[in-house]
Chain A
Amino acid sequence: MAATRTLVRPAPQNPRLTVPEVDIRICLGTGGVAAGSREVLKAFEEELARQDVLAVIRPREDKCEGRTVSVTGTGCQGLCAMDPLVEIHLRRNGKSSKVTYGLVTPAMVPEIIEKHILGGEVIKKWLVLTDEGPTEYNPFYDAQEKLTLRHVGIIDPEDIDDYLEAGGYQALYKVLSEMTPAEVIDEIKRSGLRGRGGAGFPTGQKWEFAAGYQSPDGVKYFICNGDEGDPGAFMDCSALEGEPHAVFEGMAIGAYAIGASVGYMYVRAEYPLALRRIKIGLEVAEERGLLGDNIMGSDFSFHIKLKEGAGAFVCGEETALMQSIEGDRGMPRLRPPFPAESGLWRRPTNINNVETLAVVPWIITNGAAAFAARGYENSKGTKVFALAGKVNRTGLAEVPMGMTLREVIFGIGGGVKKGKKFKAVQMGGPSGGCLPESLLDLPVDYETINKTGAIVGSGGMIVIDEDNCIVDTARYFLSFTQSESCGKCPPCRIGTKRMLDLLTKICEGKGTLADLDFLEKMAEQVKIGSLCALGGTAPNPVFTALKYFRDEFEEHVVDKRCRAGICTALVTYSIDPEACTGCRACVRVCPTEAITGERKEAHVIDNELCIKCGACYEKCRFDAVRRS
């Protein structure tokens, strides 16, 4: 089925004519925007225009004669902890330098322009990264290898020419001009790529199944699952925001391999920025003939439709997702038949996750062997992990699989915030579990993590410290799965509710040791009695919590104590008269006037009035408020 016509090799329509003397790239991912990067970008534009020293250009303007500066908004640059991040390339007198500043505010912009851009002097106090020597942030970057996010944070995601200039759509061209569908499937199989959405199913094998079925009218579907529902995972969000065309290209390659002509992208409504960039991207890609009818002049046609999710975690499950596209309640159905045989509108359908698809063009361009050379045993290549919670360097890190948890959390992530003690890392969201310090030297690969009771899942790693309560964390996940259970299977619908009730009871100090056994028993039943993965894995947070942190559960039920001070019913606050300076700060924040005391004299908390909100504990600068 290789192309019979002469194909048109994709190329940028408006190639960059000028290499600007100053190239400023500002992170406009959701995280960056949350930190105020839009204001920073605006400040750069305004200040540069005001100073009028360099000509401000749009990236594709030709101003060869002048000294020029270009300002670009990019996708997520990775190190969210230091957002807004601003990367500045200077090319001057035959020399070039690249510097990244972090925690940039609009107020810092004039100084950056004056000292760095005009004066060529690096401002050390704001420095995150430089090509002139290591900084304290280098460990975050050095161990990373970006295959999936190869251009995220570098290119302008709303400018297709940026992607094309970076080699975009060349993999699709290669596939259409010189590979048969079977060769494409073989290449992906040999790469060892496994589904990045959670289950880790081999992608090539999935494609092979779908390629093997035909529908009476010849229609097949290729779906991209962008319903990233795991709270705490944001790699799909960043991939879609930062380089949507890579995902389209991966879809088109997959669609060619299985023989699909229609594609759907199912993306959460909670990701407005990603949705906006997908819409922009799809339109221009069709206009340029990179998607749509007779792609690049070949016989292959593939149209992508965007479906906005309506807010249901269970729709991340493939059969539920298809129900949702069909306009129904997103309830999973029995497999077999598998989607490959009878999926959307009962046609053969293939579904892959965003991250899986984003790396496909890289594999086609660089070869299966290059991908398989990275990684560990049966987990090949790289995986993007989302580091969040109580870790110093929060952000997205793409690393070869098989790195140890310790290397990721303490090496890349820089350890626990504020020097607190590490308690656990939560992996795999509501389907995963909390792993203790003693397991940190395990390599991150699908099989090893599965054995612990957690899962690699979509790659979220939430670090929790001594100030977090493990029972509360388990309760949090059960409250999530309970509210997101679609209601089809009673063991999931009722079982998660009962488990949540028990955990709440324990958090309120009313639990007994017998409750712990009952909880475990019920978890087992929910696991075996549910149809889909939501119910089947919903008990995982409880299993792992009980397995690794049973002492904390026992403290709650026997000693009626919550060592982290999170379960308010089990906490009392008092003031240490030795440490109290009598500053009255706690008196002012107490919402129930439970604290009394004269200025410069030790204060006292009336436990009858105290509602245990912890406001005084947070406010006190002298560590005089004690929680026990």
Chain B
Amino acid sequence: MTTEATTYDTDEQEQEERFAELLDRYKGQAGALVPLLQGGQAIFGYLPEDVMRRVAKAAGEPLSKAVGVATFYSQFRLRPHAKHTIRCCHGTACHVSGAARISEELEKCLGIEAGENTPDMLYTIEEVHCVGACGMAPVVMINDRAHGKLTPEKAVEVVKAFKAEVEGASAGDGRGAPAGAGGREGEDT
């Protein structure tokens, strides 16, 4: 799922209500499996076993099929996912412009490998195929915001600046997303 600054609801009751509503909305509809999985992941941040079971039931499909679909698409996650996603683009233009070195440096900077979460569950690194900003290669996306024309050093700077913002903001109110994390401020002209 594209992480809209990934402010998943921490309120379990509210999550449950939204999920029940989702199941209700798609119940008995043809082709509901993918949108149900997408919706479930948007609510919980990933797809725990219990969620998968209920999705399968609502879609009228066996659990094996729901799991089959969830593991087919790269979007779905079966494990918890950190709050902020740093996507290193490995599209062709980024690859030939040195994306591998950028990935390496960012992994070093956060102390994790691609696909892992930081222990505080704040950051994860993903390697993705093309975010559609090839003219700006190499590109790194932090949540929904792309950063282009990077070098390994610049990429580390950008991530460090973002971290400082996140950690500054979370010191304030616990779960606030930093400015520029995914909002579209300044776009409403």
- Interface residues of chain A, those whose CB is within 8 Å of chain B, are 28, 30-31, 33-35, 38-39, 41-42, 45, 58-59, 70-73, 80-81, 83, 156, 228-234, 237-238, 269-276, 307-313, 324-330, 345, 386-390, 394-396, 426, 429, 460, 462, 464, 468, 473, 476-477, 480, 484, 486, 613-614
Contacts and interface: CB of A to CB of B under 8 A. Distances in A.
Interface string B19-61: 0000000000011111101100000000000000000000100
B148 A390 contact: no
Contacts of A464: 96
A309 B35 CA distance: 10
Contact residues of B: prevailing secondary structure:
loop
Nearest to A568: B100
Contact of A386 (B35, B90, B135, B139): B135
B120 interface: no
B131 interface: yes
Contacts of B146: 30-31, 33-34
Closest 6 CB pairs of A and B: A80-B135, A231-B91, A34-B148, A310-B73, A232-B92, A327-B33
B96 A468 contact: yes
B1 interface: yes
A390 B96 contact: yes
A65 B132 CA distance: 43
A362 B87 CA distance: 37
Given A41-B189, A307-B34, A390-B97, 15 more contacts: A31-B135, A31-B136, A33-B145, A35-B149, A38-B187, A80-B133, A81-B135, A83-B135, A229-B129, A231-B90, A272-B144, A386-B135, A388-B137, A484-B129, A614-B101
Contacts of A473: 95-96
A48 B10 CA distance: 41
Contacts of B68: 329
Contact of A73 (B30, B90, B189): B189
B185 interface: yes
B187 A73 contact: yes
B74 A345 contact: no
A413 B95 CA distance: 19
Contact of B136 (A83, A308, A311): A83
A272 B92 CA distance: 20
B129 A480 contact: yes
Interface residue range, chain B: 35 or more
Contacts of A230: 130
A237 B133 CA distance: 9
Interface of B: 1-2, 4, 30-35, 37-38, 59, 68-69, 72-76, 90-97, 101, 104, 128-137, 139, 144-149, 184-187, 189
Nearest to A232: B92
9 contacts: A31-B148, A33-B145, A35-B136, A38-B187, A231-B91, A233-B130, A272-B144, A326-B30, A327-B31
A45 B73 CA distance: 41
B91 to A, nearest CB: 3
A34 B133 CA distance: 8
B92 A28 contact: no
Contacts of B32: 327
A42 B133 contact: no
B136 A476 contact: no
B75 to A, nearest CB: 4
B130 A388 contact: no
A310 B134 contact: no
A184 B131 CA distance: 35
Given A39-B186, A45-B186, A272-B144, A394 B73 contact: no
Nearest to B1: A269
B69 to A, nearest CB: 6
Contacts of B189: 41, 45, 58-59, 70-73, 156
A30 B186 contact: no
Contacts of B133: 30-31, 34, 80, 234
Contact of A395 (B73, B74, B135, B147): B135
Contacts of A613: 101, 104
Given A45-B189, A269-B1, A329-B72, A30 B96 contact: no
A476 B92 contact: yes
Contacts of A330: 72-73
A58 B34 CA distance: 40
Contacts of A468: 96
A234 B148 CA distance: 15
Contacts of B185: 38, 42
Contacts of A480: 129
A279 to B, nearest CB: 13
Given A232-B92, A388-B92, A396 B135 contact: yes
A388 B101 contact: no
Contacts of A476: 92, 95
B135 A231 contact: no
A481 to B, nearest CB: 11
A328 B33 contact: yes
B115 to A, nearest CB: 13
Nearest to B104: A613
A495 to B, nearest CB: 20
Given A231-B129, A232-B91, A476-B92, A270 B147 contact: no
B144 to A, nearest CB: 5
